[in-house]
Amino acid sequence: MWRVLRPDAVAVLKDERARKSLGRYFAVMGGELPARFLVCKRAEVKVDLSAGDEELWRAHDRGLREFRKLLAHIDGGKARLEDLERPEPSLLDLKVELARRILKSCHFCERRCVVDRTAGKVGVCGVSERSRIASEFIHMGEEPELVPSYTIFFNGCTFKCCFCQNYDISQDPRGGVEVSPRTLARLVEAQRHDGARNVNWVGGSPTPHLHTILETLNLCEVSVPSVWNSNFYMSLEAMKLLFGTQDVYLTDFKYADDKCALKYSKVPNFFKIVARNHRLAFADSELIVRHLVLPNHIECCTRPVLEWIAENLGSMVRVNLMDQYRPEYRAHEFEELNRRLTSDEFGRALEIAREVGLENVIT
C-alpha cells in the first residue's frame, strides 16, 4: 500500500474546486462508484461482431446511448454494477473489435496514415501492431489528485516535438518491451490493490496503442479510474472509441498557432483538431487540461489557449499551467526555445489565466 504521499495529494481530497470539476473521478477513486469502463462492459449492443463497419458503428452509437442511461442509473443509485449481467457482446467488446479494424488502415490519430499495421506496416509514429512499453511504475510527479498514479509509458508518438523530455521513449517506437493486454490487465489490478489511485496511459503517446488499451480494460476486473494522458491529436473515430471508457482526460493543449505546432512538433492543423477533441472529451467525461508554457510563446500560444479554455470549457475546468519547460532533445536548434522559462514569463501566464477568468488552476 502506498502510504507516503505528497502533502498536496492529501490536501486535494478536501479541495472544493478539484472536487467540483472531478467529482466522479473522486468517487471512483474512493470506491463509491464504478469506473466507466466497467459500466461500458455492462452496456449491451445488439449486433453480430462480424458485421460490416457501418453496421458496427451504428450499433456503437446506440450502445453509447445505452451506456449513458446506465451510467446515470448507477450514479443516481437506481442500479448497482454488481447486479448487472455482462452482455455478449458488450459495448466494450464492440469497441475492441472496431479498434482492431482501424489498425488495418490506421487512423487512430489525425495523421491518418491508413497503413495496415496488422500486416507489418508502420505509419508516422512507427508503432507496429504489438504494443511496447518503456516502463510502468507508480508515478508520484503527476497532478496532486492523480498521485500515486500507476503510469504506463508506451513507446512511440504521433508528434515529433523538438523539446520532448521523453524523446528516448517517444521517438523510439521499437524500444522497450512487448506487452500483452492480459499482462497489462494483471499489472493494473495488482497496482490498484496496492493503492494506486488510477491507471495512467501515456508515452510517447497512448493513441497508437488504443487497441491494446481497450483490450486491457476489457480484461481488467477491478474498478480503477482510467486516465487518458495524451497530446489530444486523436482521430474522431478514436475519440468515439474512447467515449465511455475514460474517467479523466489528461490533455495537453500546447499551441494556439498552427505555425508553432508545425515548426516544433511537425504536426499539421493542430488547433482545430485539438480544440475539437477537448470539446468532445469535456462532453464525455472529466478533464484536466495541461498547458506547458513555452519561452517566447506567451502571446502567440499561452494567451489564446487560455482564452479558448475559459470560453469553451468554462471557468471551473481544472487547468495545470506548467512551468517546467527545459530545452531538451533538439530544442537547441531553435534559439527562441533554447532556454528555460523566466519567472516573469510564468508570472505573466498566471496573470492571463486570472484575466480570462480561470478559477481552478494548478500551478
Instruction: Please identify, using beta-carbon distances, which residue of 27 and 115 lies nearer to ligand SF4.
Output: 115
Query: Which sign, positive or negative, has the C-alpha torsion 154, 156, 161, 165?
Result: positive
* Segment interacting with ligand SF4 (CB under 6 A) among 16-24, 66-74, 112-120, 162-170: 112-120
111 binds ligand SF4 (CB under 6 A): yes
267 binds ligand SF4 (CB under 6 A): no
261 binds ligand SF4 (CB under 6 A): no
127 binds ligand SF4 (CB under 6 A): yes
Instruction: Please identify, using beta-carbon distances, which residue of 39 and 109 lies nearer to ligand SF4.
Output: 109
Nearest approach, Cβ of 127 to ligand SF4 (angstroms)?
A: 6
Residue type, 19: R
Measure the CA–CA gap between 47 and 59, rounded to whole angstroms. Answer: 6
Please tell me what DSSP assigns to residue 338: S
109 binds ligand SF4 (CB under 6 A): yes
Instruction: Please identify, using beta-carbon distances, which residue of 59 and 106 lies nearer to ligand SF4.
Output: 106
Query: Which sign, positive or negative, has the C-alpha torsion 314, 320, 323, 325?
Result: negative
* Segment interacting with ligand SF4 (CB under 6 A) among 77-85, 119-127, 213-221, 306-314: 119-127
* Edge-first strand listing for the sheet containing 198-202: 177-178, 132-139, 149-154, 198-202, 226-229, 248-252, 286-292, 318-322, 361-362
241 binds ligand SF4 (CB under 6 A): no
Measure the CA–CA gap between 278 and 177, rounded to whole angstroms. Answer: 31
Count of CA atoms in the C-beta half-sphere (13 A) of 113 = 20
Instruction: Please identify, using beta-carbon distances, which residue of 107 and 290 lies nearer to ligand SF4.
Output: 107
Contacting ligand SF4 (CB under 6 A), which of 124, 188, 213, 214? 124
Query: Which sign, positive or negative, has the C-alpha torsion 176, 182, 187, 188?
Result: positive
* Minimal CB distance residue for ligand SF4: 123
Enumerate residues 303-342 that contact ligand SF4 by CB under 6 A.
Answer: none
Q: Which three cell numbers stand for residue 255?
A: 499551441
Is-contact 228 278, C-beta < 8 A? no
Instruction: Please identify, using beta-carbon distances, which residue of 105 and 296 lies nearer to ligand SF4.
Output: 105
* Segment interacting with ligand SF4 (CB under 6 A) among 25-33, 103-111, 217-225, 302-310: 103-111
Contacting ligand SF4 (CB under 6 A), which of 33, 45, 98, 113? 113
Nearest approach, Cβ of 243 to ligand SF4 (angstroms)?
A: 18
Measure the CA–CA gap between 345 and 309, rounded to whole angstroms. Answer: 19
DSSP 60-111: HHHHHHHHHHHHHHHHTTS--GGGS---SSBHHHHHHHHHHHHGGG--SBTT
Enumerate residues 9-48 that contact ligand SF4 by CB under 6 A.
Answer: none
**Interface mask toward ligand SF4 for 190-229; x: CB under 6 A:** -----------------xx---------------------
Instruction: Please identify, using beta-carbon distances, which residue of 111 and 297 lies nearer to ligand SF4.
Output: 111
Report the candidate in 182, 62, 200, 74 with the shortest Cα–Cα distance to residue 140.
200
Q: Tally Cβ neighbours within 10 Å of residue 215.
A: 23
Q: Would you mind telling me the total number of residues written for the chain in this entry?
A: 363
Instruction: Name residue, grid cell 488495418.
Output: 104
Contacting ligand SF4 (CB under 6 A), which of 25, 37, 108, 253? 108
Measure the CA–CA gap between 128 and 103, rounded to whole angstroms. Answer: 9
Nearest approach, Cβ of 317 to ligand SF4 (angstroms)?
A: 27
295 binds ligand SF4 (CB under 6 A): no
Number of residues that bind ligand SF4 (CB under 6 A): 15
Instruction: Name residue, grid cell 495512467.
Output: 200
Contacting ligand SF4 (CB under 6 A), which of 89, 123, 181, 244? 123
Residues near ligand SF4, by CB under 6 A:
106-109, 111-113, 115, 123-125, 127, 158, 207-208
